[in-house]
Structures are given as C-alpha cells and as structure tokens.
Amino acid sequence: MRVLRSLPTVLGIVVAGKVCLAQSPGLDCSKAVSTTAKMVCSDKGLAALDAKMTELYKAAGRGPDTVAQQRRDLYKGDDCSKASDARACIETAYQRRIIALEIEQDKAGSAKTAKLSCGTGKMPITASFYNSTEPQSVMLVYGNDHAVALIAMSGSGSRYTAPGIEYWEHQGEAAVTWRGAKATCKMLR
C-alpha cells in the first residue's frame, strides 16, 4: 500500500495536460497559481530542490503550514519573477534555504570559521565556510543579522554572494558589501 501512495510522486502527476514533477505537503502542483510555483512543478531540478527543502523542514519538526509559508517567503524574498533568469534565481533561493536548514540541523559538514575586523567602531563579521555544501557556501553573521551566501565566479580570491550581500576575500583581506554598506576587512582567524 505504501508503494501506491508514493507512486504519483515517482511518476509525476498530470495536471491540465502538464506533468507535475513535484508533489509535497507544502507544494500541491494541482493548486499551483504563481509563475514560480508552476515553474517548480514543471522543472525536474527545481522539484528535487523543493522536495529536499520539504524533507529538511519535516526533519526539523515543522509541519506543512510552516513549509508552505516558508516557500511563499522564499518566492517573494528573492523576487525571482522579475529576474532576467527566473529559473536560476529560484534555484539559488532554494539552495540558500536548504543550506541554512542543513547548517541549523548540523548536516552541512564542518565549517572553517574566521572573524573579520572591519575597522574601528564597526562590529566584527563572522564567516563560517562550508565546503561540503552544494554549492559551497558561507554563513555570514553581522550583529544580529545573518545570511547564507553561495560561491560565485571571481577573477581571483574567493567570492560569495546573496541578495544585497557580497563577500570577496583575497590575500587575507575581504571586501564586504552588507545591504548597501561597504567595508574592507582583515581576517583575524
């Protein structure tokens, strides 16, 4: 009987002549209305990320209503509907949320942590690097604010980005942009 209940998830669900690849307690593809939800339902890679995020929320003991709200926040927070590459934006938003949940649940592997001094009178930034996440990431903490940034292309050094945040380290210095404020920081390690 258990196999029969999971069969629609494995095979996909046909909704209005379209195959729905993701079916989870928080994302019911038969009720998908937003462009983002429809894209997740029709894209195998995004559906897999949605399923992984849902499982991590379940593992944290959060119910379907919490998962659905988090998904709505995820879609709105990155405003992927206005992005030039909406699919890439949605994928990145899922990746950051999944990594944040993995860090919270101690499933992201060990981190290499560094403190950064960003000048007199400025709060230090703590950077915890996770090389075993997919993609590689850093959890940045600045005061009471925090963000997961993903590795990005750079000409030299290590560069991580998230909406409104950029961390670019090269030879012991880090250029940090934090929600509009820019600073040059020294690694304290």
- How far apart, in whole angstroms, are the C-alpha atoms of residue 81 and residue 120? 40
Residue 40, token pair as written in the block = 């997740």
Instruction: Report CA torsion sign: 62, 64, 69, 71.
Output: positive
pLDDT of residue 66: 82
User: What does the pLDDT look like over 136-174, one tens digit per residue?
Assistant: 999 999 989 999 999 999 988 999 999 999 999 998 899
> Cβ-count burial of 75 within 10 angstroms (0-12 exposed, 13-18 middle, 19+ buried)?
buried
pLDDT of residue 188: 82
* Residue 87 vs residues 47, 58, 61, 72, 171: alpha-carbon distances, Å: 12, 25, 29, 16, 34
Question: Where do the H-state alpha helices sit in the chain?
Answer: 2-11, 35-42, 44-59, 64-77, 86-104
CATH 2.40.128.200 domain residues, the chain: 112-187
Beta carbons of 79 and 101 less than 8 angstroms apart? no
What is the CATH code of the structural domain delimited by 112-187? 2.40.128.200
∠ at Cα 68 (142, 101), nearest 5°?
Answer: 40
Residue given tokens 């003991």 in the structure block: 61
pTM (2 d.p.): 0.80
Neighbours of 16 (CB within 10 A): 6
- How far apart, in whole angstroms, are the C-alpha atoms of residue 8 and residue 154? 42
pLDDT of residue 95: 96
Give the chain's residues under pLDDT 70.
1-26, 77-78, 120, 189
178 contacts: CB under 8 Å, gap ≥ 6: 125, 140, 142, 145, 164, 165
